[in-house]
């Protein structure tokens, strides 16, 4: 319908070409006025963005703020928010209970992924090039220094917040039944967080990272049975050229291969595994009945005998 209109207008104008200019102008003015009217009418319907087709197609529900059903749907029908239940225990929103530490840790992981991808645009995991890329990033790339600093400090902060999160879980006894397994998933996440930091440390290929990784991987030499200098290692045929350290470094010294392996673990391997574990971690929080508290206190008189299975 609408697309036909300009055509009609055109044919009309062509047909009445000999008409006087004022007549033509009059018609144009008339049409413009009508169009304006239409536009105003239509704009009124856009006044509430939540009523637009675009909004509804994205969010699937209108957020009529007073309607409790919509508040639930706002959570349930959003892929990012549906990690949450629609409703939670009134006291569980108190900042003092969880300190928001798990959430902050996750947010830092997101920040690290974002800044990390940007860093990847400027970085070659190769001897000589790697160090130059960092210098380039610090001195020439717009906001490069800020980008590098942010990735660095977010990583340190993530280690701290993961510890504090774990500390909170201990203090509130949240590892107890039925959350034992999620605690174990958490321990794996802690280890992965530390490994992410460690693999990243080598990447600038400066003295700091090089020697830290040298010291770190030298310990791998001493792995019992699988290291060339560990107990039972030599007896099982381990040499510096086939033990675990060799596997980690892709060689017997920290060199180009080690840089490449570090890079791949840091940018692909560990983040991938960590994401999977985080997905399980969050899923289990829901399945275990949400955040553990603040729960009503239990009294000594309520202690039941241990169930015999």
Partner 1 sequence: MDWHQLWIIASAPDNVPIVAMLFLVPIFTWMGIRQARANDRLIVRLEGDTKLAKTHHRKVEPWRPGWAKELHVWPYLVRIEFLVTLIVTVILFVWSITLNAPLEEPSNPNLTMNPSKAPWYFLGLQEMLVYFDPWIAGVVMPSLIMIGLMVFPYVDSSPFGNGYYTIKQRRFALGMFGWGFLMWIMLIFIGTFIRGPGWIWFWPGQTWDHNTVVFDKNVDLHDFIATSAIGKFLHLGFLQSTAGKAIFGGLVVGGFYILGGLFFHWLMTRGGLDRFDGSLPLTRRLWLWITTKDKFESKLLARTSLLQYLTFQFFAVSVLLALPVKLILRLALTIKYVWVTPYFNI
Nearer to ligand HEM, 97 or 226 (CB): 97
From partner 1, ligand HEM, none, which one binds at residue 218 (CB under 5 to 8 Å depending on kind)? partner 1
Q: How crowded is residue 269: how many other Cβ atoms within 10 Å of its Cβ? A: 15
| Part in contact with partner 1 (CB under 8 A); list of ranges 36-44, 49-57, 207-215, 269-277 | 207-215
Q: Report in angstroms the alpha-carbon separations of 26 from 12, 21, 23, 29, 307.
A: 14, 8, 5, 5, 93
143-166: string of b/e by CB count within 10 Å (b at 16+)?
ebeebbebbbebbeebbebbeebb
Nearer to ligand HEM, 83 or 222 (CB): 83
Three-state secondary structure readout of 192-205 = HHHHHHHHHHHCCC
Q: Interface residues for ligand HEM in 170-189 (CB under 6 A)?
A: 172, 174-175, 179, 182-183, 186-187, 189
For residue 57, the minimal CB distance to partner 1 (Å) is: 19
In order, the DSSP letters of 210-262 are: HHHHHHHHHHHHT-TTTSTTSTTTGGGT--TTTSHHHHHHTSSSSSHHHHHHH
If you compute the radius of gyration of the chain from its CA atoms, what whole number of angstroms results? 31
Residue 87 found at the interface with partner 1 (CB under 8 A): yes
Q: How crowded is residue 209: how many other Cβ atoms within 10 Å of its Cβ? A: 21
91: tokens are 């006291």
165: tokens are 């999160």
40: tokens are 């105003």
Q: In the bound complex, which residue of the shown chain has the CB atom lying closest to ligand HEM?
A: 186
Residue 115 found at the interface with ligand HEM (CB under 6 A): no
For residue 234, the minimal CB distance to ligand HEM (Å) is: 36
For residue 151, the minimal CB distance to ligand HEM (Å) is: 16
For residue 154, the minimal CB distance to ligand HEM (Å) is: 13
Peptide bond into 294 cis (omega under 30): yes
Site string for ligand HEM, 193-222 (x = CB under 6 A): x-----------------------------
Nearer to partner 1, 46 or 211 (CB): 211
For residue 235, the minimal CB distance to ligand HEM (Å) is: 37
Nearer to ligand HEM, 26 or 173 (CB): 173
Give me the residues that bind ligand HEM (CB under 6 A), please: 98, 100-103, 105-106, 109, 162, 165-166, 169, 172, 174-175, 179, 182-183, 186-187, 189-190, 193, 278, 281, 285, 291-292
């Amino acid at each position: 319908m609408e697309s036909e209109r300009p055509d009609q207008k055109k044919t009309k104008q062509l047909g009445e070409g000999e008409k006087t200019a004022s007549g033509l102008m009059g018609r144009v003015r008339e049409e413009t006025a009508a169009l304006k009217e239409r536009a105003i009418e239509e704009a009124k319907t856009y006044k509430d963005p939540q009523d637009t087709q675009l909004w509804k197609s994205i969010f699937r529900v209108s957020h009529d703020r007073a309607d409790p059903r919509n508040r639930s749907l706002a959570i349930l029908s959003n892929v990012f928010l549906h990690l949450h239940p629609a409703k939670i225990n009134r006291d569980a929103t108190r900042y003092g209970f969880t300190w928001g530490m798990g959430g902050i840790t996750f947010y830092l992981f997101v920040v690290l992924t974002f800044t990390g991808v940007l860093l990847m645009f400027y970085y070659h995991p190769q001897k000589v090039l790697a160090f130059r890329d960092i210098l380039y990033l610090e001195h020439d790339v717009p906001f490069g220094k800020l980008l590098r600093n942010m990735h660095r400090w977010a990583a340190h902060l993530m280690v701290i917040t993961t510890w504090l999160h774990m500390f909170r879980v201990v203090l509130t006894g949240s590892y107890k039944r039925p959350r034992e397994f999620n605690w174990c998933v958490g321990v794996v996440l802690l280890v992965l967080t530390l490994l992410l930091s460690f693999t990243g440390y080598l990447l600038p290929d400066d003295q700091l990272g090089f020697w830290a990784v040298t010291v770190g991987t030298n310990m791998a030499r001493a792995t019992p049975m699988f290291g060339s200098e560990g107990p039972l290692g030599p007896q099982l045929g381990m040499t510096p050229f086939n033990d675990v350290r060799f596997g980690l470094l892709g060689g017997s010294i920290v060199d180009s291969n080690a840089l490449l392996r570090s890079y791949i673990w840091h940018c692909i391997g560990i983040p991938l595994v960590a994401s999977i574990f985080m997905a399980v971690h969050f899923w289990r929080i829901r399945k275990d009945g949400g955040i553990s508290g603040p729960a009503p206190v239990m009294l000594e008189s309520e202690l039941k005998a241990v169930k015999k299975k």
